[in-house]
Structure 1
Amino acid sequence: MDQKLKLLTTESRNDRTMHIDTAETMEILRLMNEEDQKVAIAVQQVLPEVETAVKFACESLKKGGRIIYIGAGTSGRLGVLDAVECPPTFSTDPDLVQGIMAGGEKAFIKAVEGAEDNQELGARDLQDICLTANDTVIGIAASGRTPYVIGALCYARSVGAKTIALSCNKQSLISGYADKCIEVEVGPEVLTGSTRLKAATAQKMILNMISTATMIQNGKAYENLMVDVHVSNFKLKERAIHIICKTTGASYESAKEMLAKAQNEVKTAIVMLKTNQDYTQAKVLLNKAEGNVRKATAIVES
């Protein structure tokens, strides 16, 4: 093994699990659970850095830019996973939050050998989406040394995009190529080097925080409800109706009728009910409030 690789926390052996191969099932599960409980504490330590990432992301969206996750292997898949959940959860354009991984879409299911070792490929993948200075790029690598991610971050900085390096080792190599680094050290894995475990859990938690906090600050929530949910199936329609009921006090039937009048736009339906305005007027209020339901209703109340 590369001597530098040996020094990484993500490649260190866990003294608590040295005999896990002889353990009974419940003992294996207990050990894993105890190790997993350390992840949230590790994430807590880097919240100030995550806050900066959210700030960058919010600024990008205000400028008409995008949030781009980029990584290889498990790290890349986690970025894709977070990105693809944004359209149904927040009714965002699929291009607004994007997940790119080494080897392309086919690598999500089956590893593309060697792709993560290619710096030029990382840069080229960002060129292919016409990256601009308005975008924020979040490079993800548990080890913190993936060449593909380094190439991507270098290119992103060259065009003036904001850059974040998310890794699970202190003084990670990728940190030196970003405007801000998030180094969440979760300690040695239950199975040495298997960063799909604690490291991946920490990465997913942080990506969830970045996307969710950014969307909340961009008016995608009212109270703690997903008022910009995309009504694309029966389950989501029922959720939308219940959200309208909870926020306005309307009956189920009234909420259902208003959702239809609002062209399945939950925020618009809420504003219509709360302000007694029609669809067009409610849309005007939301536009004035930059999509924020609370601010839109306050315009009428004031």
Structure 2
Amino acid sequence: MPTPSDPGSGTGLMPPTEAPHPLSAELDTLDTPELLRLINDEDATVAAAVRTALPQLARLVEAGVEALSRGGRVHYYGAGAGGRIALGDALELGPTYGIGPETVLAHLAGGPAAAARAAEDAEDSVPDPADPDRPVAGDLAIGVTASGRTPYVLGALAAARAAGATTALLSGDPAAPAAAHADLHVLLATGPEVITGSTRMKAGTAQKLALNAFSTALMVRTGRTWSNLMVTASARNGKLRDRAVRTLVTACQSTPEQAAGCLDRCAGETATALVALSTGASPVRSRTALAAHGGRPFAAIRALVEEQR
């Protein structure tokens, strides 16, 4: 049975993610269990590739914290599978951490329609220079491309840097051309795919792991959790409401009835209920304190407690 591959390094004009995999040359002769084992063996190498990139990923988180702390935004730019992975990560931050879509924005080659139907030719274009949501000075722009040479991402990073934004690249090629436009290059060295060039596989998995880790650490470092609890999550359906009540019970040492009642009075806003339960403030005062402190419950609670002294 083949064993997982060595990710290798860049080779001339061909990025590692486009190279033929030496262990899958006879892929179409394998039976189903062998085929699945080979895919799974290769998938098992992805976490190690992301771990190797953790020092660069930590620097990226700090760049994101700096951008948000000075009122800036974080932008993801990608095309194809990588762009859709980035879009998915950005979309989940609203319901999970209560941030608005203006805080972390995903720009996908081909526009929103490319999220539902692939528009692969769009990756050869560059972002609209007149886009009102384009990066500006103080923002962080992150390009996501396995090959490191997608024109859409190159154009986005070049424009973002020219505008004064901090720029970063997530790629699978140490010699990625797009790195020339990036202040930070996070290398996810997953190497050749089982299906040559099918970067929705290992490269895509690495992108998802890296972006999940980046955005989660960013939300924690900017005060949008309480311990390990999602205290700024929405409570817009039955499952989420039940989770919000459990969260408030744990965070505030309240009864389920107290937590549910406060959540109702706070219009289902978990963070507002947390501040109200913790300080005795009204929903309106709690909501105002949160707004004054960037939606960060700990900062809002500390400010209200200081007022009450």
| TM-score, length basis structure 1 | 0.90
Provide Cα deviations, 1:169-222, integer angstroms capped at 9, x if missing partner: 112111111111111101211111110000000011111112111111121111
- State whether structure 2 residue 67 is matched by structure 1 residue 66: no
| From 204, 207, 211, the counterpart of 2:208 | 204
Provide Cα deviations, 1:71-110, integer angstroms capped at 9, x if missing partner: 1111111111111111111111112111111111112222
Q: Which residue of 2 aligns with 1:44?
A: 51
Q: Which residue of 2 aligns with 1:109?
A: 116
Q: Which residue of 1 aligns with 2:251?
A: 247
Q: Which residue of 2 aligns with 1:185?
A: 189
| Aligned mates of 2:55, 2:239 — CA distance in 1 | 36
Describe the shift of the 1:286–1:95 C-alpha distance in structure 2 as closer, same or farther (beyond 3 A).
closer
What secondary structure, in the 3-state scheme, does the structure 2 residue paired with 1:164 have? strand
Describe the shift of the 1:130–1:150 C-alpha distance in structure 2 as closer, same or farther (beyond 3 A).
closer
Q: Which moved more, 1:12-21 or 1:250-259?
A: 12-21
Q: Which residue of 2 aligns with 1:163?
A: 167
What secondary structure, in the 3-state scheme, does the structure 1 residue paired with 2:131 have? helix
| Aligned mates of 1:243, 1:72 — CA distance in 2 | 37
Alignment of 1:1-302 (within 5 A): 4-5=12-13, 7-118=14-125, 121-122=126-127, 124=128, 127-283=131-287, 286=290, 291-297=295-301, 300=305
The one-letter code of the counterpart of 1:105 is: P
The one-letter code of the counterpart of 1:165 is: L
Q: Which moved more, 1:248-257 or 1:173-182?
A: 248-257
Q: State, as a whole percentage, how many aligned pairs show the same letter.
A: 39
CA contact (8 A) 1:57 1:67 kept: yes
The one-letter code of the counterpart of 2:68 is: L
User: What is the root-mean-square deviation in Å for CA atoms of aligned residues?
Assistant: 2.1
- The structure with the largest helix share of the pair is 1
> Any gaps of 5 or more consecutive residues in structure 2?
1-10
Provide Cα deviations, 1:260-295, integer angstroms capped at 9, x if missing partner: 122322123223223333334544665676544345
CA contact (8 A) 1:67 1:96 kept: yes
What secondary structure, in the 3-state scheme, does the structure 1 residue paired with 2:277 have? helix
1:251 Cα deviation after fit: 2.1
What secondary structure, in the 3-state scheme, does the structure 1 residue paired with 2:44 have? helix
Q: Which moved more, 1:160-169 or 1:8-17?
A: 8-17
What secondary structure, in the 3-state scheme, does the structure 2 residue paired with 1:207 have? helix
The one-letter code of the counterpart of 1:92 is: I
CA contact (8 A) 1:126 1:156 kept: no
| Aligned mates of 2:291, 2:24 — CA distance in 1 | 56
Provide Cα deviations, 1:123-160, integer angstroms capped at 9, x if missing partner: x2673424311211101110011111111111001100
Describe the shift of the 1:95–1:295 C-alpha distance in structure 2 as closer, same or farther (beyond 3 A).
closer
CA contact (8 A) 1:219 1:290 kept: no
CA contact (8 A) 2:80 2:120 kept: no
| Aligned mates of 2:62, 2:238 — CA distance in 1 | 35
1:67 Cα deviation after fit: 0.9
1:26 Cα deviation after fit: 1.5
